[in-house]
Structure formats: C-alpha cells, structure tokens
Amino acid sequence: MILSAAPPAKAGAASAISETAYEVGVVLGTTLIGGLVTAHYRADLQLPAFLSDVQTMLASETLAGAHHVAAGLAGDQAQQLMQQAGSAFAGGIALASWLAFGLALVAILIAWHTLRLPKIQPAESH
C-alpha cells in the first residue's frame, strides 16, 4: 500500500521507509515479546531447594541454563528441575502467544476499519 500511494518519483524512498519500518518492528517485537517470556520464566520459576547458589543463578537465567544444571544432577533431581523450568517457560510462551494474538487482532481491526475500499459513486450523466 505504501508503494502504491507514493508517486513514481518517490517509489525508492517509499520502499526504503517501508523496509526500515518492517525491520524495526520485527526487532522491537522480538525484543519485547522475548523479554516478556524471560521475565515470566524468572518470576514463575520455583527452583528446588537442593540447588547450590551457582546452580540457582544459572537455572534461573534461561531454560538452557536449567538444562545445563540438570545435566550435572542425579536423575530425580534433574527431572524435578526440568519440570519446574519447563512449566515456567511454557507459561511464558503461553503469555507471549496470547499477547501476540491480541496484538494481531488489534492490527486486523485497525486495518479493517481504516483500509476499506472507497465506495464507487456512479458517474452523473449529462
């Protein structure tokens, strides 16, 4: 729509602006939603009491950190840690998914209301 609305002499600039806006949106969306997943993971994670301070720090950072810590634990302890970490991560992904769904729905509604085709008026006959 941006390119079709721009005059032919400005098509290159319109394309550059469109691509830049797209890239900025992708980066911001990934950063904000990824940050939300991480924040939820850290807030929701209930770590077992048997972990050392270093293990607690590593496991609370990311799901990969929890996998790394679990690799050095006995079977039941590793399973308990991974259940907690997996649950916290899944909760963060669910929250991010609902947020993305809501934002997409808002974008659809805005587009539906603002990008309607103009009504064609019949030409007056003389």
Inside any domain, residue 101: yes
Q: Could you give the 3-state DSSP secondary structure of residue 63?
A: helix
40 near 55, Cβ under 8 Å? no
Residue 78 covered by a domain? yes
Q: Which domain holds residue 84?
A: 2-105
Contact in structure between 14 and 21 (CB atoms under 8 Å): no
Q: Could you tell me if residue 86 is inside a domain?
A: yes
Residue 91: other Cβ atoms inside 10 A: 16
**pLDDT single digits (tens) 2-59:** 777 778 888 888 888 889 999 999 999 999 999 999 999 999 999 999 999 999 999 9
The whole-angstrom separation of Cα 121 and Cα 21 is 35
What are 59-84's pLDDT values in tens digits? 999 999 999 999 999 889 999 999 99
Q: Is residue 63 part of a domain?
A: yes
pLDDT > 70? residue 124: no
Question: Among 104, 110, 92, 112, which Cα is nearest to 44's?
Answer: 92
| Counted domains in the chain | 1
User: Is 52 contained in some domain?
Assistant: yes
**In a domain? residue 73:** yes
**Residue 24 resides in a domain:** yes
The answer as to whether 122 is a domain residue is no
Give the model's confidence band at 122: pLDDT under 50 very low, under 70 low, under 90 confident, else very high. low
pLDDT the model gives residue 123:
63
